[in-house]
Amino acid sequence: MVGKLIKNEFINREHTLLLAFGGTFLTALVSFLFKLLSDNVDNVAIELLANFSMLIFICVIVVAAVVCFFLPVIDYRNRFFKDQAYLTHTLPVSPVSQMIARVVMDIFTVIQMYIVFPLLFVLGMGSKDIYSTIFDWVKRFLELFTGENLGNKLIVTLIIWGIAVVVQYLNNMWMLILGYTAGHSLFNQNKKVMSVVSFIAYYMAWETLLSFVSIGINSSGLINLENTGNNISGLIDSLNIYVIVLSVFQLVMFVVSIILTTVICKKKLNIE
């Protein structure tokens, strides 16, 4: 049954994702063609069109990224509280199975965003070397002060921080989902307001806990940013450890949000 739910989640969510990716691809392609034309034809009008198409592309990719970013919350609202999905309410499917399917699709969604949007950005800007140029510039800048070859260390750092961003994204999305679920399931009036209040309360509790965790990390001696001095390599290592520890707590809160949402949905799934 979980497999059928994942398939259902994929069909429902991919429709929106493909529209966002497709629209962004078309504007990226237009921007690329105009840039290619302006590089080969010395014409002021074509150059203006190339710059304008690039501006349009940047606006489109920002809007598409925002839509995809909040898609898990929007989809959850429509599917769980507006009864727009057949499997959600007409089949004897447990909330646990539904949540597992949603989590799998959330992870798949953010992976798609990580892969597709950077590729579309390269196409729209008309330069395949844009990321390597930025990476090389940062690498040379740091090596100027340290005299060390930080290439491999920066690659590891990018991987660690990339995973951390994914975990934080999932955690934030499920905090929003939990707030929406609590506001609409536990209160009979002013459900939208109570959803916002529930999210703010949960988020403040999370930030308070995160502050204590940060204090604990600093006082435990696990990392020591003060003694790194001009040692950029040591500073990067300390920051990586810090990010890894915080990501573990983000992952724990992500699981807690899923469990709380599932418990609330089990007790009272309020269909409006």
pLDDT for residue 85: 43
pLDDT for residue 170: 86
196 pLDDT exceeds 80? yes
Higher pLDDT, 227 or 110: 110
Q: Measuring CA to CA, how many Å separate 244 from each of 103, 208, 233, 258?
A: 21, 19, 17, 21
Residue whose C-alpha is closest to residue 168's, from 99, 115, 246: 246
Amino acid at 66: V
pLDDT for residue 155: 77
Q: How large a percentage of the chain has pLDDT more than 90?
A: 1
pLDDT for residue 144: 56
Please indicate, yes or no, whether the overall pTM of this predicted structure exceeds 0.75.
Answer: no
pLDDT for residue 129: 60
Q: Among 40-44, 111-115, 177-181, 222-226, name the one with the lowest average pLDDT.
A: 222-226
86 pLDDT exceeds 50? no
The domain locations on the chain are 1-126, 129-272
Confidence of residue 272 (pLDDT cuts 50, 70, 90): very low
Query: CA end-to-end span of the chain, whole Å?
Result: 26
84 pLDDT exceeds 50? no
User: In this structure, are residues 261 and 179 in contact, taking their beta carbons and an 8 Å threshold?
Assistant: no
44 pLDDT exceeds 60? yes
232 pLDDT exceeds 70? no
176 pLDDT exceeds 80? yes
Mean per-residue pLDDT of the chain: 76
Q: Measuring CA to CA, how many Å separate 160 from each of 116, 165, 171, 224, 249?
A: 20, 9, 16, 19, 15
User: In this structure, are residues 198 and 182 in contact, taking their beta carbons and an 8 Å threshold?
Assistant: yes
Radius of gyration of the chain, Cα coordinates, nearest whole angstrom: 23
Confidence of residue 134 (pLDDT cuts 50, 70, 90): low
Q: Among 41-50, 145-154, 205-214, name the one with the lowest average pLDDT.
A: 145-154
